[in-house]
Structure 1
Amino acid sequence: MELELRHLRTVRAIADAGSLTRAATALGLAQPALSAQLKRIERALGGPLFERHRHGVRATALGELVLDHARVLLPAVAELQQEATRFAHAPRHTPRLRIGGTHGPLLGALLDRLAQAAPGIDVTTRTSWSERELADLLAEGRLDYALTGTCGSAPPPGPDRLTWREIAVDPVCVMLADDHPLAHTDPIELAELAGQEWACVPGDSCFADCFTAACARAGFTPRRLYETDTASCVHLAQVGRAVGLCRATFPSTPGITVRPLAGTPLTWRHLLGWHPATQHPDTAAQVLAQARAAHPTLATSRP
């Protein structure tokens, strides 16, 4: 016999009543029927649950164990039923979007536009340095949309069944301390920075390899590339320890000058991804349109 919730209710009723007679009355059963049911439950659980005495019944050690679990499980199941009923009969549900993203201001700009366009929508976010992790979360259905990117013409991350659409392409720029000798050069030849150390944010794309290849084409090998968080990249650039690599949408920051590289040797493609089997085409088109509208607003506001 498989143990069921009704069996736990029976055991709890016997314990609460203190006797089979009173429990049978409370359950609306004949006492012989309740006694037979209790014996089946005890066989399923491997031993007696109650000891009989002249004043009624008392739980055995095994009975106390079962009762401890019943006192947790039965209220939890009742609460689940109530919550499910309320949810099923609610007049309408608030739409929800789960959006993931890597570093950068574009995620914030997209969230702002979505809040303006659809103030009733419930948006939750998740950030990660890993483009592959975000793609895996899309594939597993744990995210609705992912805002990430690739270096140059590299393929999007994750399995082929995901849909990716280009939002925009940013040139990769350099951030320098305001007093850097090249801070007033516009644009800067990559070769002019041959003796510098470098800083960029981490990721699992091919960006670091593409940067090394661009330096090789310019005739040098970078001395060191620090991969660290955005605030540390900014600090290293501000104190002149390293030249930071950033996108054109990098926000204005005190003590930092952002300059383009001559010939645009590196680019970054902003991408929006989703799983076509779980997202309605109209919703995907609206989110993509908002992302594409957010990018030029950021780009034109940066010197």
Structure 2
Amino acid sequence: MTSRRVLVTGANGFVGRAVVLRLLRDQVLMPVAAVRSASCLSGLCPTVIFDLSSAKELPELEAIDVVIHAAARVHVMKESSPDALAAFRKVNVDGTVRLARKAAQSGVRRFIFISSIKVNGEITLPGRPFRADDVPAPQDPYGVSKLEAEQALRSIGRETGMEIVIVRPPLVYGPGVRANFQRVMSLLTRRLPLPMGSIDNRRSLVGINNLVDLIVTCIDRDAARNQTFLVSDDKDLSTSELLRCLQATIGRKALLLPFPELLLTAALRLFGMGSVSQRLCGSLQVDISQTKKTLDWTAPYSPEKELQKTALKFLESTND
């Protein structure tokens, strides 16, 4: 392992931890894990305390070559803050700007920002997937904060010469995933009839291993300099296909009923679950052709196998 160091923020999180473990496995670059509190990574690599929401705690960056910034205030289904946009801006914009300015002052060569497809929007029309050069159209405070952070980073890059790389993933899944993906797997184990057997949408997802592979590719690839990349597994699934793929591994035969999609959407909206309806029935596709061409990159892991690994890990955790 060389003396070149890569600082990974949010290293206790799902994406950040996976990046650190990949760098440790490759033994080419030394990861430094930036975490808010004690970490299971302690002893595996250097760790530093870093709270993105605090103006007082910034890690030392003099010996850092590249920053991979995965820390964020994440999107949640039930937002509790009375001013959600201000709460997201405080962390995702102000905190990111403080870190990036210190990185530039410290001589960091490249700053890789893990953004979100929510910068592009929430839903795509048939035959019109999101592209990296689309006009941004975020629909919620989280997406707005990620767009504003991207804009601020590009400005810092132009001022200082620090290279900015932006990665916008859609829904990320993999072994140990939580939040909505975990809830879906929990539903499948209950053997309840689910009215989702006829949903004919298209959703782009990205397995954690494919996302991390792209992030690591961006560390040294010259073509990544000052670019924005969309990423996915490069194989879109309908909600019904996703559920059946998970169900095949989980082995609990939840009944997927062929319920008319329009009625399902109307029922969910009637009960104030419009956002759930959009995620279940709406399409969100991303075009990664520019990513593949620019970086000479293809997603190395098949979604079927990655979904299987995700479901198996979920089963292990429920049996503990």
Higher relative contact order (CA 8 A, sep 6+): 1
- Larger strand fraction of residues: 1
Q: Does the TM-score normalized on the shorter chain lie above 0.5?
A: no
Larger Rg: 1
TM-score, with structure 1 as normaliser: 0.31
TM-score, with structure 2 as normaliser: 0.30
